[in-house]
Amino acid sequence: MEPSLVSGITSCAPALYFLICIGATIGIWIEAGIIPAFVSYGLVWLKPAFFYAGACLFTAMIAALSTSGGAMGTVGVALMVIAHGIGADLYVTSGALISGAVMGQLISPINDMLPLALAQGARLNETIKLFMVRLLPPFLLVEVLYLVYGYFVGFPQASINSGLIIDAIRQHFFISPVIFLPVILLFLLIARGTPTVPVLMINLIVSSLFAYVFQGAGLAEIFRAMSHGYIPPADQEIMQIFARGGITPFGSIMQLTMMASIWAALLKKIGALDAIFVKLISLPLLQKKLGLQSHLLSVFISICTCAVIPAIIISGELLKGKYQEEGRPIEELYRNVIASGIIVSPLIPWTNIYFYNAGILGMNLIPAFPYFWFALVYFAWLIILGLRDKVLGHGKHGISEKTALEE
C-alpha cells in the first residue's frame, strides 16, 4: 500500500502549487490595491438589487477566461468584501459566487479537468460544445432566480457602510484603472495558453512591483502580504475586511487536500471503488441508463475519495468500455463524469473543492448550500436527462446530434 500512498501525494502536487500561488496572489493583490480597487468601483457600480445575479455572472465570466480557483481567489474575494459593504447576505453571495465559478470552469477551454479527457482521445472543441448544450438552460434559470431574490427579498442589513468603505479605501490605497494592469496581463497570458502556475508566478512579480510603485509598500510588507496575508492598520476597523490572503492561512487546506488524495489512492488500491461500481450498475433503476450511471458513479466516487480528479479518472476507466460498446463518443463520457463531479463536490463538506472555497471566502459554507442553486438545478437536470437517456443518434464526427435537451 505504500506506493499507493506515495502516488496519492504525487497526484495532488499540482493542486498544492496552485493553492500556494492563490494564497500569495490574494495577499499581494490587496497590498497592491487591486482588490481594494475592485471593491471601490464595485460599490459604486453594483446596484444592490442586481448584486447576486451580477456576482454569479461576473465570476462565471472570469472563471471561463481563467480557472474557477483563480476567479474565486481574486474577484470572488472582492465581491465578498462588497457584500459586506452593501449589507448583502453572505451565504447567498457565497452560493452565487460558487455557482458562477463552477459554470465558468465547465465551459473554460483551460479547465484543469479537461486534460484528463484529452488524454483519452477526447477533442477539446467537441467536449466544450457538449457542455454548453447542457449548461446554458440551467444557468439562465439560476441567473433569473438570483435576480428575483435580490430584487424582492432584498438584504438583511441596510446598505449604509458603502460610502465609509470607499472613503477608507481611498485614504489607504492609490485607486486608479491603471492598477488593473496585472489582472489584464494575467488573462492575456492565460489566453495564450501559458500554464497556470507560471502565469501566477509572473503575476506575483508584477503585482509586487505595483505594490512598491503605487502603494509605497516595502520589501518586508510585500513578502508579509504573500506569506501571511494583508495586515490592515490596527486603528481602522473598516479596513479589517481586507485581512485576507497569504500562504500560511491555506496550510490546513493544503493538508486536507493531500490527505484526500492519499485516501483516494488507497481506496483504489484495495478495490473499494470497483466494488461501488459493480453495485451501482446492478441497481434495477440504472439498467440501460448509461448516462445516469455516469453521473451517479462520479458523485459517489467524489464522496468516497474526497476529490474530483479521482472521480473523473476512475469513472472514465470503469465506463469507457461500456460507452465504446454502445457506440457513444468519448466526449460524452467525460462531459458526464466531469460535470457531475465538479457540480456536486462543493456541496460535500470533506472534498478538496469545499475546503478550497471555504478557505478563500473565510467562512463555513454549509449554511450556504441551499443557495448554491446552480448545483441543485443542474444536477436535477442531469438526473432527468439520465433517466430519459435518449442520446441515441451519432453524427459523422462521432458527436450526439439528438440529445434529450434538443428533443
Look up residue 359 and give its three cell numbers: 478557505
Determine the Cα–Cα distance for residues 103 and 260; give it in Å rounded to an integer.
24
Q: How many CB atoms neighbour CB 47 within 10 A? A: 12
Selection from 52, 131, 91, 170 nearest residue 342 by Cα: 131
pLDDT at position 392: 37
Helix or strand holding residue 226 (H, E): helix 219-228
What's the confidence (pLDDT) of residue 98? 92
Predicted pLDDT at 391: 41
Q: How far apart are CA 396 and CA 325, in angstroms?
A: 17
Provide DSSP, 70-89. HHIIIIIHHHHHHHHHHT--
Q: How confident is the model at residue 18 (pLDDT cuts 50, 70, 90)?
A: confident
The secondary structure of 159-199, three-state, reads: CCCHHHHHHHHHHHCCCCHHHHHHHHHHHHHHHCCCCHHHH
Mean pLDDT of 305-334: 79
Confidence of residue 403 (pLDDT cuts 50, 70, 90): very low
pLDDT band at residue 396 under the 50/70/90 scheme: very low
SS3 state of residue 400: strand
166-199 pLDDT, tens digit each? 888 888 889 889 998 988 888 788 777 777 678 8
Q: Whose CA is closest to 89, among 349, 371, 354, 374?
A: 371
Residue 278's contacts (CB-CB under 8 Å, 6 or more residues apart) are: none
pLDDT-based confidence at 154, cuts 50/70/90? low
pLDDT band at 401 (very low <50, low <70, confident <90, very high): very low
Higher-scoring residue by pLDDT: 80, 42: 80
Distance CA 154, CA 148 (A): 9
pLDDT at 110: 60
Tell me if 341 sits within 8 A of 311, measured CB to CB. yes
Q: Which three cell numbers stand for residue 125?
A: 472543441
pLDDT tens digits for 340-360?
888 888 888 888 788 878 878
Write down the pLDDT at residue 220: 92
Question: And the C-alpha cell for 50?
Answer: 442586481
* pLDDT at residue number 406: 45
Q: Return the closest-CA partner of residue 183 out of 319, 38, 44.
A: 38
Highest mean predicted confidence (pLDDT) among 63-77, 144-158, 215-229, 327-341: 215-229
User: How many Å apart are CA 159 and CA 380, to the nearest integer?
Assistant: 35
- In the prediction, which pLDDT does 245 show? 76
pLDDT digits (tens, 9 = 90+) for 50-70: 889 988 998 888 887 666 777
State how far the Cα of 311 lies from the Cα of 264, in Å rounded to an integer: 9
User: Is residue 400 scored above 50 in pLDDT?
Assistant: no
Q: What is the pLDDT of residue 342?
A: 85
pLDDT at 26 over 70: yes
Amino acid at 54: G
What's the pLDDT band for 227 if we cut at 50, 70, 90? very high
* pTM attached to this predicted model: 0.75
The grid cell for 388 is: 430519459
Point out which residues pair with 394 in neighbouring strands.
400
pLDDT digits (tens, 9 = 90+) for 246-268: 888 777 777 777 777 788 788 77
CB contact at 8 A, 63 and 113: no
CA distance 256 to 244: 20
pLDDT at 212: 93
Torsion angle, alpha carbons of 384, 381, 277, 397, to 10: 90
Residues in the chain, how many?
407
268: amino acid identity, one letter: K
Q: Which residue has the higher pLDDT, 8 or 171?
A: 171
Cell triple for residue 215? 502603494
Q: pLDDT digit string (tens) for 266-310?
A: 877 888 877 777 777 677 666 667 777 888 888 888 888 777 777
pLDDT of residue 286: 63
Dist. CA 187–CA 108, nearest whole Å? 13
- Judged against a pLDDT cut of 60, whether residue 407 lies above it is answered with no
pLDDT, mean over the chain: 79
Question: Residue 218 contacts by C-beta under 8 Å, 6 or more apart in sequence?
Answer: 212
Q: How confident is the model at residue 222 (pLDDT cuts 50, 70, 90)?
A: very high
Contact 391, 332 (CB under 8 A): yes
CB-based contact 375:343 (threshold 8 Å): yes
Picking from 160, 193, 197, 213, the residue whose alpha carbon sits closest to that of residue 34 is: 213
Backbone angles phi and psi of 32, in degrees to 5? -80, -5
The DSSP output letter for 153 is I
